């Protein structure tokens, strides 16, 4: 069995007297879509924040391993930009775009950790001449095509529809060439048509080999997308399994519906 891309063990996070994460284990395998679900306040976003360097966990290990490699990188204690550099990218529950920059520029910003700063600066000031610079533009356009936004490349991000802004966030995260993509409630606030397009987009990205871990409340979407589902409640991991197993798990039913 190959080493998982992400292996989290014993992750614990205390906020004063509140234990938001209690010795949580989770792993994501190469090429899979995994989901982290649970009722409100279960600790899902805290988990993402600990894994991506926004919080320093009280205890536990976060290991990232490139596919086919046995050289794991320990992410614990790293800053968010260092975590991105090592191959973990994320989107946020509340959209965080550069609203007065163009759609294309937002994706190019995502290239920061794979690009020399002066090159990116030259492009953003419209002084792109070199071959290397053109490569970044082409790469960014290709990502916009992938998420269906190429024909809006020159719009300000703030002028996009809600669903399109969410897809732009995904493109920006992909621009960092992540080993693993974390999506925090990507369907939140979307209408049914936007959710359907998101479902198709995530499946397409996954087919191209991208490993994905998502937090999501839309159960229909979770069941449609996920190879494996992890369920948290009150800071603890209470179940894991494939969609059929999770649907019928008594602990999961109890966590969502009560006794
Ligand atoms: P939701 O589905 O509503 O987004 P969640 O599963 O993502 O919920 P978290 O936001 O991770 O849950 O919250 C888990 C617990 O940790 C909650 O009790 C929350 O109040 C607490 N918590 C989260 N962040 C902090 C913080 N910065 N300071 C103190 N308590 C926090």
The 10s digit of each residue's pLDDT in 61-100 is 999 998 878 788 899 889 999 999 999 999 988 878 888 8
- We report the CATH number of the domain holding residue 226 as 3.40.50.300
Q: Which of 177, 195, 225 is the last residue of a domain?
A: 177
pLDDT of residue 102: 92
Kindly give the distance from the C-alpha atom of residue 222 to the centroid of ligand 1, in angstroms, as a whole number: 21
- Out of 93-102, 142-151, 171-180, pick the least confident: 93-102
Co-location of 186 and 255 in the same domain? yes
Kindly give the distance from the C-alpha atom of residue 15 to the centroid of ligand 1, in angstroms, as a whole number: 9
The 10s digit of each residue's pLDDT in 195-240 is 999 999 999 999 999 999 999 999 999 999 999 999 999 999 999 9
Here the ipTM equals: 0.95
Burial (CB count within 10 angstroms: exposed 0-12, middle 13-18, buried 19+), residue 211 = buried
Identify whether 97 is part of a domain: no
Report the C-alpha gap between 134 and 187 in whole angstroms: 33
Mean pLDDT calculated for residue range 123-149: 79
Structural domains counted in the chain = 2
Instruction: Give the residue, by CA position, lying nearest to ligand 1 atom 1.
Output: 40
Co-location of 83 and 192 in the same domain? yes
Contact 210, 174 (CB under 8 A): yes
Q: Quick check: pTM over 0.80?
A: yes
How far is residue 12 from each of residues 4, 70, 235, measured CA to CA in Å?
20, 25, 9
Mean pLDDT calculated for residue range 26-49: 95
Query: Do β-strands 180-184 and 6-15 pair in parallel, antiparallel, or remain unpaired?
Result: unpaired
Q: Range of 68's domain? A: 1-87+178-259
Q: Which of 113, 142, 177 is the last residue of a domain?
A: 177
Give 122's contacts (C-beta < 8 A, 6+ positions apart).
128, 129, 130, 133
pLDDT of residue 125: 64
What is the DSSP secondary structure assignment for residue 208, as one 8-state letter? T
Burial (CB count within 10 angstroms: exposed 0-12, middle 13-18, buried 19+), residue 249 = middle
Co-location of 76 and 3 in the same domain? yes
Closest ligand 1 atom, residue 232 Cα: 6
Report the C-alpha gap between 81 and 251 in whole angstroms: 37
Identify whether 92 is part of a domain: no
Q: How confident is the model at residue 13 (pLDDT cuts 50, 70, 90)?
A: very high
């Amino acid at each position: 069995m190959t080493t998982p891309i992400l292996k989290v063990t014993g992750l614990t996070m205390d906020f004063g007297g509140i234990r938001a994460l209690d010795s949580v284990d989770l792993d994501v395998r190469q090429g899979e879509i995994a989901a982290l679900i649970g009722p409100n306040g279960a600790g899902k976003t805290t988990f993402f924040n600990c894994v991506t360097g926004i919080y320093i966990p009280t205890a536990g290990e976060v290991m990232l391993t490139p596919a086919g490699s046995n050289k794991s990188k320990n992410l614990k204690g790293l800053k968010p930009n260092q975590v991105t550099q090592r191959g973990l990218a994320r989107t946020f529950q509340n959209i965080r775009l550069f609203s007065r920059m163009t759609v294309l520029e937002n994706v190019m910003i995502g290239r920061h950790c794979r690009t020399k700063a002066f090159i990116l600066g030259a492009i953003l000031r419209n002084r792109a001449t070199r071959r290397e610079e053109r490569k970044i533009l082409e790469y960014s356009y290709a990502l916009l095509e992938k998420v269906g936004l190429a024909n809006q490349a020159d719009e300000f991000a703030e002028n996009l529809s809600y669903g399109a802004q969410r897809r732009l966030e995904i493109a920006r995260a992909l621009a960092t060439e992540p080993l693993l993509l974390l999506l925090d409630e990507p369907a939140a606030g979307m209408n049914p048509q936007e959710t359907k397009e998101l479902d198709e987009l995530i499946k397409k990205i996954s087919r191209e080999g991208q490993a994905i871990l998502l937090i999501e409340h839309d159960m229909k979407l979770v069941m449609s997308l996920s190879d494996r589902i992890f369920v948290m409640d009150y800071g603890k991991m209470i179940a894991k399994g494939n969609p059929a197993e999770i649907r019928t798990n008594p602990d999961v039913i109890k966590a969502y519906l009560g006794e």
